[in-house]
Amino acid sequence: MRNKYYISKLLVVLVLLACTSIFFAGCKNSVIKTDAELLFEENPVTIKYSGDVGAEIESFQANVQIHSMNNRTDTCAELRETYRLSVKTIDNSVLTRIDFPADEDMGISARSMISDGKDMIVFDTKTEVIEERISLNDDVSSDLDFFKLQNCLSRINLKLIRREANRLALDINEDSKTRALVLNLPPNLLSKNKYEELLSSRIRFDMNSETLQEVETVHLQKDGTNITTTTNILYEEKDGVPIKIGSITVIDAENPNKMPDISEDVPVYESSDDVPEISPEELAELEKKGVVSEKTDMIFGDPGDLSYKETVVELYQDIELNEADDSLFKLLLN
């Protein structure tokens, strides 16, 4: 049970990393993105650079916080996960290590994972005893192999991307006004699964900073739900070099289906601002009468509507560049 719990979390993190690395105060529901950006202002990052400024970034380490908010159930973004991220290019392969802290409440000791995109190992952080070896399904077309060394943590090779996109006759456009390079990838070149159909995948690069700026995918699920996932990458300059400090992902799920048998007597609140307030004295009186109880599964908006919008904030702190030792990845390299 413990291993399955950690493996589930690790696979979720790998998906988030793949989307952005290989390709790609009071909280108000109406200003989700603004609140997400406030997290970065309230948690300023520090960047430590080893070696010459401007040198190629061979390794990247950071403490990561994952905050998320669902506009149907949450009133503000909450911290969901923390871990230590290490990424390093070794022998033309990008290796990723994630170290999760121990979870004392669940009786789980610290666990780590290492992956090269093809295989993943899960092990006890303290003893380094390997507990699981997992082969990762990678059915992305080999035509897109030129993306694999683009870790998108700083500047990327736009010249290479242009050349390969033109060679493959991909849909690529340049906007001279916004200085954006937009690449539309055919769904048939990307990963597929039996649960949903990929309708489109769009990647936007900033030609001025030579960085990945945005990744947008649109999926259609079997029940008719249309899910648009948009990830925006945030950078901070360190001595003129753009360094990724996190990302903001918005998952917009439009479900045409309705929940059946919803009572018309159920009050509809569009946000926490709509919920009527009562005084502490009135609350105490109602509790004394036994006619009030805490509701922990509040749904904002039409309770029969299955659509939602979720915002996931990936926040980096204490970034260290070119300081990761190869020994961090030895269990996968051996």
pTM of the model: 0.83
Residues of the chain with pLDDT under 50: 1-33
pLDDT of residue 85: 96
pLDDT of residue 12: 43
pLDDT of residue 286: 80
pLDDT of residue 331: 93
Q: In whole angstroms, how far apart are CA 186 and each of 18, 107, 181, 194? A: 17, 45, 16, 18
Number of helical H runs and strand E runs in the chain: 5, 14
How far apart are alpha carbons 78 and 91 in whole angstroms? 39
Q: Is 280 helix (H, G, I), strand (E, B) or coil?
A: helix
pLDDT of residue 53: 59
How far apart are alpha carbons 83 and 116 in whole angstroms? 18
pLDDT of residue 190: 83
pLDDT of residue 46: 93
The length of the chain, given as a count of residues: 334
Domain boundaries, given as residue ranges, for the chain: 2-257+306-333, 260-305
